[in-house]
A and B are shown apart, each in its own frame.
Chain A
């Protein structure tokens, strides 16, 4: 559960027994065919897996860019893969209350959805600034029966929402499962979320082999906390000839410009000053607006297996508009960062993780596009 020197469990003592319980519970679940059967049933009959692979010919003429369509998953983003798996796990652990953080609101909606599906109490912490930017998702969570608690201090974004969710978990740890939304946090969370998201990469690998008879030359995904990226990358990590590229928001490049630090329970690469104080991230995309990143991404960067680059707000907005106009697909602003870099790569056969759909971003994107 340590990725090189990254990861670990930098949390108050109160949570350690719960993390131990979660570790054992996850090992038991992974070894239990009934868990896999239940999750597979939910993913196919409720979530809509497998998601298709779409060739985006008009978006990138002269290239063969395939989009892994997590935007077509129920609730509109890859987040549901993780939320469903953790909800099943929480029930196995006997927890009836779920607490979660959300940035763009996609993880909050996915969590509210699975809680409605299983009759679990659901509390979602969300920064007040993000609630403004992602109002439709706030309304969806409310309709689904979740309580959205605004976080009004600090940056009022995902960083503070995550801290408040962890504080809630510390306070209610006996009854509550913390359904973390990305491959961050104390061990074993980064591993659990990765294992639940790797269905993206495993499916995509089979699909592109079926479509093209060969592996892609490059795989590209956006990285905030990094869960859709780790999921799609895991299908190709051992294929040494496949170039793997993670795309961060330029103003929230925890891997590109960060330093080793400790945030939200794990040692990873974080945006921090020389004293270890966490810095503010800046991105038009609420889902990438986070100064930390999953510890396994820091490890994959250090060993050189994955290359991490940045895309600016303007580049992401241009890709957002171009995919809508060229393909009739409105992507979320988060994977628009991946689209922006993918079309500039030298490689011709490229797989891009289209992690979510852009309905939630219309107001914010149109305000900037004019």
Chain B
């Protein structure tokens, strides 16, 4: 079975072009970050990208517009907004979900809304090495499509080595959850990608993709292609 490659981009005016480059390079799914001023789960690369996006005026409506334009360009690619609770609180939780769906989003991720909170809000749930079996089972039951395995206790961003916590997390999640398992946080190189997909069904690459995208669509496509070749 082929492995799924998820690439994260921060919402901005050039997101549709970057998303197309990522898909050309072999991405199956694109996450679109809706920036928040105080992103607790994110390391410096995504935090700085969020600061830049906010400085460019990327607020919720503009992000939804970017989502719609990306969907129009790539109607066959699942697009998943990733954001924080504060945006949904301000916009209205249900209205946010409705407008994401209307703009072509296929699900969403809310980084600071753990499983068990607001279960009616359909979203991709996250589990971490610290999660108990009970919480993995709960997240698996509530998740929308696939389960996001946070490989490491920490924030987003590149690491030297793939987390040693991933094998046991995959083992527990396989036992407790039917959904596909995609690993993310700290996966930044083709070697990481290969090692992670020997265990999980897919990977999510965020900070390293943001850094590649800073050099334009061609650089992003080449980077994503290097990951695709490795898995």
A19-50 to B contact mask, C-beta < 8 Å, 1/0: 00000000000000000000000000000000
Q: Is the CB of A16 within 8 A of B135?
A: yes
Q: Is the CB of A277 within 8 A of B54?
A: yes
Q: Is the CB of B40 within 8 A of A275?
A: no
Q: Is the CB of B90 within 8 A of A261?
A: yes
Query: B155 — nearest CB in chain A belongs to which residue?
Result: A167
Of B12-20, B68-76, B79-87, which binds chain A?
A: B79-87
Rounded to whole angstroms, the CA-CA distance of A42 and B40 in the bound complex is 34
What residues of chain B lie closer than 8 Å to A273, measured between beta carbons? 59, 90
A17 interface neighbour in B54, B130, B139, Cβ under 8 Å: B130
The residues in A between 248 and 283 inclusive whose CB is less than 8 angstroms from any CB of B are 259-265, 267, 270, 272-278
Q: Is B225 in the interface zone, CB < 8 Å from A?
A: no
Q: Is A237 in the interface zone, CB < 8 Å from B?
A: no
Query: B154 — nearest CB in chain A belongs to which residue?
Result: A171
B19-48 to A contact mask, C-beta < 8 Å, 1/0: 000000000000000001110110100011
Given A11-B112, A14-B128, A173-B130, check contact A275 B90 (CB 8 Å): yes
**Closest CB in chain A relative to B12 CB, distance in Å:** 16
Q: Is the CB of B126 within 8 A of A276?
A: no
Count class of interface residues, chain A: 35 or more
Q: Is A62 in the interface zone, CB < 8 Å from B?
A: no
What residues of chain A lie closer than 8 Å to B128, measured between beta carbons? 12-14
Q: Is the CB of B54 within 8 A of A13?
A: no
Q: Is the CB of A261 within 8 A of B89?
A: yes
Q: Is the CB of A166 within 8 A of B154?
A: no
Q: Is A159 in the interface zone, CB < 8 Å from B?
A: yes
Q: Is the CB of A9 within 8 A of B115?
A: no
Rounded to whole angstroms, the CA-CA distance of A17 and B127 in the bound complex is 11
Query: A172 — nearest CB in chain B belongs to which residue?
Result: B153
**Closest CB in chain B relative to A279 CB, distance in Å:** 8
Q: Is the CB of A276 within 8 A of B86?
A: yes
Query: B136 — nearest CB in chain A belongs to which residue?
Result: A13
B90 interface neighbour in A159, A174, A274, Cβ under 8 Å: A274
**Closest CB in chain B relative to A187 CB, distance in Å:** 11
Q: Is the CB of B36 within 8 A of A12?
A: no
A92-128 to B contact mask, C-beta < 8 Å, 1/0: 0000000000000000000000000000000000000
Q: Is the CB of A277 within 8 A of B154?
A: no
Q: Is A8 in the interface zone, CB < 8 Å from B?
A: yes
Q: Is the CB of A277 within 8 A of B86?
A: yes
Q: Is A18 in the interface zone, CB < 8 Å from B?
A: yes
Q: Is B218 in the interface zone, CB < 8 Å from A?
A: no
Residue from A154, A260, A273, A276 whose CB has the most chain B CB atoms within 10 Å = A276
Q: Is the CB of A13 within 8 A of B153?
A: no
Q: Is the CB of B114 within 8 A of A262?
A: no
Query: A20 — nearest CB in chain B belongs to which residue?
Result: B132
B122-139 to A contact mask, C-beta < 8 Å, 1/0: 000111111110010001
What residues of chain B lie closer than 8 Å to A264, measured between beta carbons? 38, 40
The residues in B between 157 and 204 inclusive whose CB is less than 8 angstroms from any CB of A are none
Q: Is the CB of A275 within 8 A of B59?
A: yes
Rounded to whole angstroms, the CA-CA distance of A265 and B89 in the bound complex is 13
What residues of chain A lie closer than 8 Å to B111, measured between beta carbons? 12
A185-207 to B contact mask, C-beta < 8 Å, 1/0: 00000000000000000000000
Given A18-B130, A171-B153, check contact A13 B114 (CB 8 Å): yes
What residues of chain A lie closer than 8 Å to B226, measured between beta carbons? none
Residue from A12, A17, A170, A260 whose CB has the most chain B CB atoms within 10 Å = A12
Q: Is B60 in the interface zone, CB < 8 Å from A?
A: yes
Q: Is the CB of A12 within 8 A of B112?
A: yes
Q: Is the CB of A163 within 8 A of B38?
A: yes
The residues in B between 87 and 146 inclusive whose CB is less than 8 angstroms from any CB of A are 87-91, 111-115, 117, 125-132, 135, 139
Rounded to whole angstroms, the CA-CA distance of A89 and B5 in the bound complex is 44
**Closest CB in chain A relative to B58 CB, distance in Å:** 10
What residues of chain A lie closer than 8 Å to B220, measured between beta carbons? none
Q: Is B209 in the interface zone, CB < 8 Å from A?
A: no
Q: Is A10 in the interface zone, CB < 8 Å from B?
A: yes
Rounded to whole angstroms, the CA-CA distance of A166 and B125 in the bound complex is 20
Query: A275 — nearest CB in chain B belongs to which residue?
Result: B59
Rounded to whole angstroms, the CA-CA distance of A355 and B135 in the bound complex is 41
What residues of chain A lie closer than 8 Å to B48, measured between beta carbons? 153
A170 interface neighbour in B38, B40, B59, B90, Cβ under 8 Å: B40
Given A16-B114, A170-B41, A276-B87, check contact A153 B47 (CB 8 Å): yes
**Could you pull out 23 A-B pairs where Cβ atoms are within 8 angstroms?**
A12-B114, A12-B150, A13-B114, A13-B131, A14-B131, A16-B114, A17-B131, A153-B47, A153-B51, A170-B153, A170-B154, A171-B153, A259-B90, A262-B84, A262-B86, A262-B89, A274-B90, A275-B87, A275-B91, A277-B37, A277-B59, A278-B37, A278-B38
- A-B pairs, top 5 by smallest CB distance, nearest first, are A276-B90, A276-B86, A14-B128, A262-B85, A171-B154
